[in-house]
Structure 1
Amino acid sequence: GTVRRSRGDAEGALKVAAKQVEAEYHVPHLAHASMEPPAAVARWSGDRVECWACVQAPQSARKAVAEACGVPLDRVTINVTWLGGGFGRKSKPDFVVEAARVARAAGAPVKVQWTREDDLHHDYFHTVSVQRLTGGLAADGRCVAWRHRTVFPPIGSTFTAGNTTPSWGELRMGCTDVPFAVPNLRVESGEAKAHVRIGWLRSVANIYHAFAVQSFAAELAAAANRDPKDYLLELIGPPRHVDPRGEGAEYDNYGDSLDEYPIDTGRLAAVVKQAASRARWGRALPPGHGLGIAAHRSFLSYVATVVEVAWDSATKRLSIPGVWSVMDAGTVVNPGSARSQLEGGTLFGLSNALYGAIPARRGVVQQRDSPDFRLMRMDEAPRVVEAHVVESDAPPGGVGEPPTPPAAPALCNAIFAATGKRVRHLPVFRDGNPNRLEV
């Protein structure tokens, strides 16, 4: 693959390591599955068109309608309605363009509303990915070498046919910006061809990169015979500011200055400690129960999540007694809304980890309607959901997307703690059957 970040001599350190650990992680295509499918109303008056639509990016929708209909931008008005759930899907204006074109052809106001089948079959899917990580451990269990190889069809393929190269923007989401204090580190990316439309899904590339990185951190802890929380803190290392640009990576820090929004390992370690404390990490657990932990920085915020699972070996059922999430998003103006996002983003990540997948056969998406696309149900949701937002005077970061990435690895690390089985291929229930745990 193409080297995207390098520190020390990872290849050399791997060769002489006392122990070498390697694992491969798979994340499938995912659908947005918004509660309200894409819908838009369009009305023409002469050469002017006015649209009402559930869009996340009205400016881009306005531009797309103007270009598609061949009218000046100032002849297009976009009214934003309630979103009905978006998660990135409704940042794409295809359904608004469709309504504008049909309304002009019909010579009358037209409402276009996609069916659930339309939505599932013609989504801008979250991309499929494969990650292979290799770690080298010293005799005392310290991680002395870290190599991460990532492959996924890039979002750029949606805009440029044949594009197979991941962008720096995708790679900096949990891959080239990994903040671990490992002396020898190497990040590589490969080429992958897209076979469906690729788009943004809540937290984007952080989903699969966090799943791989945080799952592998727990695997290294097990190989070193160490506590996963303590080992994660050791990987994070002492408080410092990390700058991937000094190691060959291009890094735009979500469009903000690294001086104002540094990659701060002190803040990341702090949320790990708080989440572990709130979950009472290390407490005695009933048989079949396990705790898993994961932490991730994305969209300038820091989130750590602890998940408790219970595995009933007699009934072969998995349940989630509790989840504890802590978010440091800097200055928060509305703590209630931030907590709601922390809760919702965590559950969103857990649902996708348990069931999320869009399989295709002979080029056709297999799901047709809601019963075919399984989501986590009310009776499957954690019985305890504790979300804590850290009080901080740091500049404000994101709150809607950062809660999602740590959920899947925390869940799968908990499954390992409860069952001794690793989940490296999502979803956990690959056939949608909650009575069948795939490992």
Structure 2
Amino acid sequence: MPNTTFSRRDFLKASALAGGGLVLAGYLDALSPAEALGAAAPEGFAPNAFIRIAPDGIVTIVAKNPEIGQGVKTMLPMLIAEELDVDWKNVRVEQAPLDTTKFQGQSAGGSTATPSNWIPMRRVGAAARAMLVSAAAQTWGVPESECDTASGVVHHRASGRSLAYQALGERVASVAAPDLATVTLKDPKDFKIIGTRTRGVDTKAIVTGKPMYGIDVTVPGMKYAVFEKSPVFGAKVAGANLDVVKAQPGVRHAFVVDGGTDLAGLLPGVAIVADSWWQARTARAKLAVQWEEHPTAQQSSAGYAARAVELSKAAPQRVVRRDGDVDAALAGAAKTVEAAYFYPFIAHASLEPQNCTAQWVDGKVEIWAPTQSPAAGRALVARTLGIPETDVTVHITRSGGGFGRRLMTEYMVEAAAIAKQAGVPVKLLWTREDDIKHDFYRVAGFHFFTGGVDAAGKLTAWRDHFVTFGEGERVVAGAGMSGGEFPGRFVPNYQLGMSTMPLGVPTGYLRAPGSNGLAFAMESFLDELAHAAGRDPVALRLELFDHPLPEPAPTTPPNGPRPAGFDGQRMKGVLELVAEKSGWGKTTLPRGEGMGVATYFSHRGYFAEVVHVRVTKAGKVTPLKVWVAGDIGAEIINPSGAENQAQGSVLDGIAQALGQEITIEKGRVVQSNFNDFPLLRMAQSVPVEVHFKKTDFPVTGLGEPALPPVVPALTNAIYAATGKRVRSLPLSKHDLRWS
């Protein structure tokens, strides 16, 4: 969002409520990620937080970011409440609608909420508290320096006087705003809310079944819609038996939506609108659509794999990074290892299927959606329907899981287009089959490795020919890899080459995008090299972390992952911590049991994890326990939420490893529901012990970085238990029997 023309000292507004109390609206600079981590802020202001204090002292704080289960609806208000100096028991939280004139960064993704808002949200609370202190000091005619606050009350200790915040509404409205860049923030030792275990603000409503998700929305006169799209992504409608569908009970409309060719936008299909969703769903079973031919129908998972092998036998199409002389180092190595690794496409499978409610009135559209990207959704709707963005209103509902799926917003434009053509408000609700077959999948990847170790067991050479999807140097969403990805810059002779092949399947960003798949390949092959060298996998990694090359990591290629910025000493710290907590190397395990380790840096977070696994002689894999050590900076804002996020990431990763795969045949997704795309069952859940190492680094997010290491830690543990090396996923496709 462009900067406005407000000056730096403009402005924190306060106004008295008609019934007493006051409203405080914070207007702060829109910070870039670097600035959010402590650099100087740019000139100009944009609003991003609101505080409302009622006559009874209840403080309502608006949460601006979408809540998808990562806890930001609790965490962001905690930051404001801490600096405002009010008791958390007196805080109520409201979800903000999309409003880019008042708020910045109303999105959820990339574990960015914490680093982007750690300082700005605290400044909102601190600036409001400063104004309240000024108002009280003026009321009493005393210096502000003689006043302090606690639990929503301003005190003048010398005279024993005090004023509750809600009593200062009229006076605070005339107080000049403080300079937000220099407003005093609390010393961490004085925190009362930050660092405490805090229950989610919606927890009670969730467990008692209160409607708050997109799937719960109802509006007057609403009908229900389903949308049939081609199983081959982007194919157009050639014909459909609409008369048959229109004759079904409860059906009000059935029509073809022309759509376009952008896989992230409104695609062609057939919409059915009925009085109830079940009637729409039942009528859909009678629908017969003829689809036009489409070139993606020639693609398949088998074809991708064959092409990857073909490309691996030639030189990479481009070299992303080269250090030293890999060929010479491999020729002189005491031992070399070659291995091919593969990780498949994966669906997000969030428990709440995609849905959106929309109504079109007088050329304007109003939308209720569980979205991670409300502003992007608004822009897509406006662009597709040919109306200004100002004529699109978006209400952000809670999401029943996102994991990156709801960064894409095609379901929003589908609902809006159907509502416009039907002339009635509609709730579009996808089936589980729609959700599995029309996702933006975690992209598959192929890695062809060669590595070498010297006679002393040191890792001296690493070559990776990474075969991914794209055209030329441009890769599809989620498919990139930077030259700074570990172990780049930590192996003296290193080469990362990349080749691409075309893809007609939509891809996107699954929890810890990029790292989600890369970690399995990198950390598994590193484990292979450790065993080839006769080295303990922990010891080998600790040695590597101590010896980075001096030059900085190269910049990220277009639409690839973030630059690594990898700090070996921070990773060393969490690896030592997890080794200690897990008792690494101190336990003799029975045959069929093993422990595996992996580390990974992702989304600013450093994580090391150990998995203890049992594999029966019949090949059944049972994870027994997981230890997690993480470094996400100087503070853990909500320890309960942090532990939950780490545990959820680990269980998510285990589910992916055990049995999740999306395969393509004739351009179509084979899997359809949880029977062939299994989620983790309660009986498969495993104890996850989480430890955080506080460091003197900026606070960062946690929704994603704990996931990547668990998959290779699991497969490395399987090797320790059975001697069988897993080089492709999922595990369900492997024979892990041993004798």
Normalising by structure 2, report the TM-score.
0.54
Q: Which residue of 1 aligns with 2:601?
A: 297
Shift of 1:437: 3.6
Q: In the alignment, which of 183, 199, 205 is matched to residue 514 of structure 2?
A: 205
Shift of 1:167: 7.6
Contact 2:357 2:367 in 1 (8 A): yes
Q: Distance in 2 between matches of 1:164 and 1:171?
A: 10
Question: Residues 290 and 316 (structure 1 numbering): CA distance in 2 closer, same or farther, change over 3 Å?
Answer: same
Question: Residues 174 and 416 (structure 1 numbering): CA distance in 2 closer, same or farther, change over 3 Å?
Answer: farther
Q: Which residue of 2 aligns with 1:276?
A: 579
Paired letter, 2:378: R
- Name structure 2 gaps, 5 residues minimum: 1-315
Q: In the alignment, which of 419, 423, 438 is matched to residue 107 of structure 1?
A: 423
Contact 1:211 1:409 in 2 (8 A): yes
Q: In the alignment, which of 451, 454, 460 is matched to residue 138 of structure 1?
A: 454
Contact 1:176 1:249 in 2 (8 A): no
Q: Which residue of 1 aligns with 2:59?
A: none
Q: In the alignment, which of 74, 77, 84 is matched to residue 390 of structure 2?
A: 74
Q: Which residue of 2 aligns with 1:13?
A: 329
Paired letter, 1:329: I
Paired letter, 1:194: L
- Name structure 1 gaps, 5 residues minimum: 155-161
Q: In the alignment, which of 410, 417, 440 is matched to residue 94 of structure 1?
A: 410
Alignment of 1:194-273 (within 5 A): 194-238=503-547, 243-245=552-554, 262-273=565-576
Q: Distance in 2 between matches of 1:12 and 1:40?
A: 58
Aligned residue for 1:152, secondary structure, equals strand
Aligned residue for 1:134, secondary structure, equals strand
Shift of 1:18: 1.8
CA deviation string 1:26-81 (max 9, x = no partner): 00110000100100000122111110011001010010000011000111111111
Question: Residues 399 and 363 (structure 1 numbering): CA distance in 2 closer, same or farther, change over 3 Å?
Answer: same
Q: Which residue of 2 aligns with 1:157?
A: none
Which moves more between the two structures, 289-298 or 326-335? 326-335
Q: In the alignment, which of 349, 359, 383 is matched to residue 33 of structure 1?
A: 349
Q: Which residue of 1 aligns with 2:644?
A: 340
Contact 1:168 1:251 in 2 (8 A): no
Shift of 1:373: 1.2
CA deviation string 1:263-299 (max 9, x = no partner): 2110011111111111111111122110000000011
Q: Which residue of 2 aligns with 1:186?
A: 495
Shift of 1:252: 10
Q: Which residue of 2 aligns with 1:413?
A: 716
Shift of 1:238: 4.5
Which moves more between the two structures, 394-403 or 331-340? 331-340
Q: In the alignment, which of 366, 374, 393 is matched to residue 50 of structure 1?
A: 366
Q: Which residue of 2 aligns with 1:376?
A: 680
Paired letter, 2:673: D
Question: Residues 239 and 339 (structure 1 numbering): CA distance in 2 closer, same or farther, change over 3 Å?
Answer: farther
Q: Which residue of 2 aligns with 1:326?
A: 629
Paired letter, 2:468: F
Q: Distance in 2 between matches of 1:174 and 1:286?
A: 40
Q: Distance in 1 between matches of 2:558 and 2:602?
A: 13
Question: Residues 330 and 58 (structure 1 numbering): CA distance in 2 closer, same or farther, change over 3 Å?
Answer: same
Q: Which residue of 2 aligns with 1:360?
A: 664
CA deviation string 1:174-232 (max 9, x = no partner): 86453553211111111121131111111111122111110011100110111111112
Contact 1:124 1:199 in 2 (8 A): yes
Aligned residue for 1:269, secondary structure, equals helix
Q: Which residue of 1 aligns with 2:725?
A: 422
The RMSD of aligned alpha carbons is: 2.4
Aligned residue for 1:64, secondary structure, equals helix
Aligned residue for 2:433, secondary structure, equals helix
Aligned residue for 1:372, secondary structure, equals coil
Contact 2:488 2:494 in 1 (8 A): no
Shift of 1:372: 2.1
Contact 2:478 2:509 in 1 (8 A): no
Q: Which residue of 2 aligns with 1:158?
A: none
Alignment of 1:140-179 (within 5 A): 140-154=456-470, 165-166=474-475, 171-172=480-481, 176-178=485-487
Contact 1:39 1:54 in 2 (8 A): yes
Structure with bigger gyration radius:
2
Contact 1:55 1:81 in 2 (8 A): yes
CA deviation string 1:311-367 (max 9, x = no partner): 121x43221110011111113322221211111111111110111101122332222
Which moves more between the two structures, 276-285 or 91-100? 276-285
Q: Distance in 2 between matches of 1:32 and 1:312?
A: 30
Normalising by structure 1, report the TM-score.
0.90
**Structure with the greater relative contact order (CA < 8 A, sep ≥ 6): 1 or 2?**
1
Paired letter, 1:198: T
Paired letter, 2:398: W
